[in-house]
Structure 1
Amino acid sequence: MLGDEIVSRINQLGAISETGDNLTRIFLSPEHRTAADLILSWMKDAGMAARLDAISNVCGRYEGDRPGLPCLMLGSHYDTVRDAGKWDGPLGVITAIACVADLNRRGVRLPFAVEIVGFADEEGVRFASTLLGSRAIAGTFEASVLDARDATGLTMREAMVQFGLDPGRIGDAARKRGELHAYVELHIEQGPVLEQQNLPVGVVTAISGATRLAAHLTGMAGHAGTVPMALRRDALAGAAECIVSVEQFCKADSAGLVGTVGVINAMPGATNVIPGRVSFALDIRAPADQHRKQAVAEIVRQIEAIAKRRELSLQIDVTHENRTAPCAPWLKAQMAEAVATEGLSAFELPSGAGHDGMAMIDISDVAMLFVRCRGGISHNPAEHVEPADADAGARVLLRFVENFRPKA
């Protein structure tokens, strides 16, 4: 069973951490190097030519029935958030290696090459910029990120040099569209839908785009005991109404819209003072860009109306916008076929979380396969995939690869 080998390697990789108390493996750290070397050894054992590229992505290539053919690229990331779970990212890399190892054991060569990439930095923990490894491969890496500093004040440029890389050669990692037939990623779902459906895997329809807003409401601070309720301009009460409005609006939507306020700050922040200024951050995601943009416009309109009625001044700014990455219909169809052939239901669902496919879509059609995770828990030490589900994901991915038909 491929699942047993995958779980064993997940545990091996999960032991490589900054501390013994929790799993933390960030970009260009000593732990990153140790993990890269281990993944390289697994790729070589699977019959692949393996190397680190110019930004420290781990890259393996299994040639087709003749050398130099365009590839089907499989991948995911091997960095983590702080205090992470073991499965987010590495499951996709390790499962892909297990599939190639199976092909190699049977002496199977395909009419295309198979490449696997373990992306060096998807999470963006160290330099506050995500998808660095996949952006380098897609040729969209922003050179300005090299001047970003980590918590110790070290720039990415300096960290790369310490790691043994040349920041001036990041462009060498870039691939061209014609070199890839497609990019396909297996990943844990990071949500509860597959568990609710009692299914081990799901076919992803799109990686949802996201808009992030920073809202600032200003009222009037005052004494908690002396200002009558009817005369207050309470910025925190106004923010609370805005947040409930966002929740109600998104709950009423049936097309995958989600909205989250994850940060709020009230000033002056004293128990006996009416808050005069409040800031909060808002994250809006949807599987379709037009739907998300329309939702953002309506949410902003509602916040503006609340601020006006409460006599609060408002400043609201877009701080981040990522477009939706739709999974290609021709790839979804082949993935659904692989799922069905394994005797499973080809259930479709969107990804609310971001993935490397959001960068890779600039040079290739993309597809994703989700594997059920217990409780929908992710970015948490409780993150878990049952061995039987890991095996189901591997069987589907292997069937997809062996029967892959490049787009005409």
Structure 2
Amino acid sequence: MTDATAQLLLDRCDELAAISSHPDYLERVHLSKEHRAANDLVAEWMREAGLSTWQDAAGNQCGRLEGREPGLPALLLGSHIDTVPDAGRYDGMLGVLLAIAVVGRIRDSGIELPFALEVVAFSDEEGTRFGTALIGSRALAGTWHDDWWNLTDKDGITLFEAFQDFGLDPARLPGAFRRPDDLVGYLEAHIEQGPYLEDADRRLAVVTSIAGARRFALTMTGKAGHAGGTPYDRRRDALVGASELVVEIERISKERGVIGTVGRLQAFPGGVNVIPGRVEFSLDLRAEFDEDRDESIRLITEAAHAIAERRGLGYHATEIYRADAVRCDLALQEAVAAGIRSTGDADPMAFWSRAGHDGMAVVAVTPIAMLFLRCKGGVSHHPDEAVKKADVAAAVDAYEATVRHLIESR
């Protein structure tokens, strides 16, 4: 039965992966026709598991199984169904399908529920279309920022316009907001997106916290000039300055035990025989503790200004995203650990998540916890994402046992 469930979930991940805006790779973004098709398919699976369904005012797909009486606060289970460009098929999606499977099992068991069970498939965790992550979960948590309405995608469509094109009414967005007394907690199962479980030859882990992250759009400005005619002592090469800073970001990150990444770098005007006069690049910096993250940002900024001064360049940084580190609730962590122990792992691994997750937003309205599932090579955000059927089976069992532990403790 467990292997059959695991295979079903893997097959459903394949079905979702077929819903893509590109024929050659997986990309499914917020408020697109592919988002609508994915919501419809997930809603169908929710109803098969016995949930009543609705799409909330932010485009999140939701389902609910009532407790012993209607209207009780809910234990929320979920993850996201949007993707990065050229994505794998398990990031987010598998977590949604695991949640649906668990609720279906609980329903079939006939156990009396002291709270309702809800599943949510968040509409936008990655931020691929509009550049701001966690839009779906922040809407649910009631931490929406009205200036997001003016965000634009690559085609110049604003988030406000995209809501309307999708059939949502921006004025009704507060209908998606949840209150603390609506919920008893949030659980999310997710592939690890790192190598630690595989290196330890373990299937599952308890997440202790989620990394704090800050992202910046950086610019180094110099002076464009002829590659052959400009002597070195007269060059103000923005690309050399930016490259030096990239190396410094790596050095500082390693030295301080944080994770700094420059994922995008573009030189202008971009001619093969032209000294770059401007370089635009990105910085994503994450750490287990906000203090370490912020001190690393200070050191990087200090290094950037020193490089710019030495090379006669201008430097500018604009913060485009910030999410503070989130601690997982201790009682919910223990429930997850109990769930893992029920699968035969007497001493579950526990560690912090280097990647961000919807729980970072949901924690504003209710306590959170997470279950990690091993992924091959720690690879994620890539078509090579892979999981083992036996690990998926163990995750279903552990997730169900976690929910049962919470039911029995009420």
- Normalised TM-score (structure 2): 0.91
Match of 1:21 in 2: 24
Residue 222 of structure 1 and its aligned partner are, at CA, apart by: 4.6
- The answer for the alignment partner of 1:373 in structure 2 is 375
Per the alignment, residue 387 of structure 1 pairs with 389
Using the alignment, how far apart are the partners of 2:152 and 2:53 within structure 1? 30
3-state DSSP of counterpart to 1:403: helix
Q: Are the counterparts in 2 of residues 181 and 406 from structure 1 also a CA contact under 8 Å?
A: no
**Which residue is 1:56 aligned to?**
59
What is the match of residue 309 of structure 2? 308
**Matched positions, count:** 406
Q: Are positions 1:143 and 2:146 aligned together?
A: yes
Q: Does the aligned pair in 2 maintain the 1:77–1:118 contact within 8 Å?
A: yes
2:208 corresponds in structure 1 to 205
How far apart, CA to CA, are the structure 1 residues paired with 2:270 and 2:195? 36
Residue 234 of structure 1 corresponds to 237
State the secondary structure of the residue aligned to 2:369: strand
**1:306-345 Cα distance to aligned partner (Å, 9 max, x none):** 3333443433343332212221222222212222232224
Contact 1:110 1:402 in 2 (8 A): no
Given that residues 207 and 353 in structure 1 are in contact (C-alpha distance below 8 angstroms), is that contact kept between their aligned partners in structure 2?
Answer: yes
**Are 2:101 and 1:98 aligned?**
yes
Offset at 1:65?
2.6
Change beyond 3 A, Cα 1:244–1:194: same
Aligned counterparts of 1:158 and 1:350: Cα–Cα separation in 2: 37
Output the CA distance in 2 between the equivalents of 1:229 and 1:153: 40
The structure-2 alpha-carbon separation of the partners of 1:232 and 1:379, relative to structure 1 and needing over 3 Å to count, comes to same
Residues 113/308 of structure 1: CA separation in 2 closer, same or farther (3 Å cut) = same
Answer yes or no: is the 8 Å Cα contact 1:214–1:280 preserved in 2.
Answer: yes
Larger mean Cα displacement after TM superposition, 196-205 or 179-188:
196-205
Q: Residue type of the partner of 1:44?
A: R
**Of the candidates 187, 191, 198, which is equivalent to residue 188 of structure 1?**
191
**Structure 1 residues 226 and 50, CA gap change in structure 2 (3 angstroms):** closer
Q: 1:244 to 1:9 in 2, by over 3 A?
A: same
Q: Which residue identity does 2:287 align to in structure 1?
A: A
Change (3 A) 1:127 1:264: closer
1:396 paired to 2:398: yes
Identity in percent: 45
Give the counterpart letter for 2:355 in structure 1.
Answer: A
The match for 2:297 is 296
**Residues 211 and 321 in structure 1, CA contact (< 8 A), matched pair in contact too:** yes
Query: What amino acid is the match of 1:183?
Result: Y
The counterpart of 1:170, out of the listed 162, 169, 173, is 173
| Superposed CA RMSD | 2.4
Return closer, same or farther for 1:215/1:28 CA change in 2, 3 Å cut-off: closer
Unpaired runs of 5+ residues, structure 2, are none
- Alignment partner of 2:144: what SS? coil
Alpha-carbon distance between aligned partners in 2 of 1:51 and 1:215, rounded to the nearest angstrom: 41
> What is the CA–CA distance in structure 2 between the aligned matches of 1:83 and 1:106, rounded to whole Å?
39
The residue that corresponds to 2:88 in the other structure is 85
Select between 38-47 and 286-295 the one with higher mean Cα deviation: 38-47
CA distance in 2, matches of 1:124, 1:370: 22
User: By how many angstroms is 1:225 displaced?
Assistant: 4.3
From the superposition, tell whether residues 136 and 227 of structure 1 become closer, same or farther in structure 2 (CA, over 3 Å).
closer
Residue number among 28, 32, 36 corresponding to 2:35 in the alignment: 32
Output the amino acid matched with 2:32. S
Amino acid at match of 2:56: D
TM-score, reference length from structure 1: 0.91
- Contact 1:203–1:347 (Cα < 8 Å) also in 2: yes
Pick from 353, 356, 361: which aligns with 1:354? 356
Secondary structure, in 3 states, of the residue corresponding to 1:367? strand
Deviates more, 1:290-299 or 1:231-240: 231-240
Instruction: Using the TM superposition, give the Cα deviation of residue 226 of structure 1 relative to its aligned residue in structure 2, in angstroms.
Output: 5.3
Q: Is the 8 A contact 2:256 2:292 kept in 1?
A: no
The reply to whether residue 343 of structure 1 matches residue 344 of structure 2 is yes
2:131 is aligned with 1:134? no
Flag structure 1 segments of 5+ consecutive residues without an equivalent: none
2: CA distance between counterparts of 1:159 and 1:268?
A: 32
AA aligned to 2:107 is: N
The 8 Å contact of residues 181 and 407 in structure 1, kept in 2 or not, is answered as no
Aligned residue for 2:283?
282
1:5 paired with 2:24, answer no
Q: 1:234 to 1:51 in 2, by over 3 A?
A: closer
Distance 1:286 1:107 in 2: 43
Structure 1: distance between partners of 2:209 and 2:68: 32
CA gap 1:246/1:151 in 2 versus in 1, 3 angstroms: closer
Per-residue CA deviation, residues 25-59 of structure 1 (Å, 9 max, x unaligned), is 22222322222222112212212222222222111
After the TM superposition, which of the residue ranges 232-241 and 393-402 deviates more from structure 2?
232-241
Are residues 1:262 and 2:263 paired?
yes
Instruction: Check whether the contact 2:132–2:321 (CA below 8 A) recurs between aligned residues.
Output: no
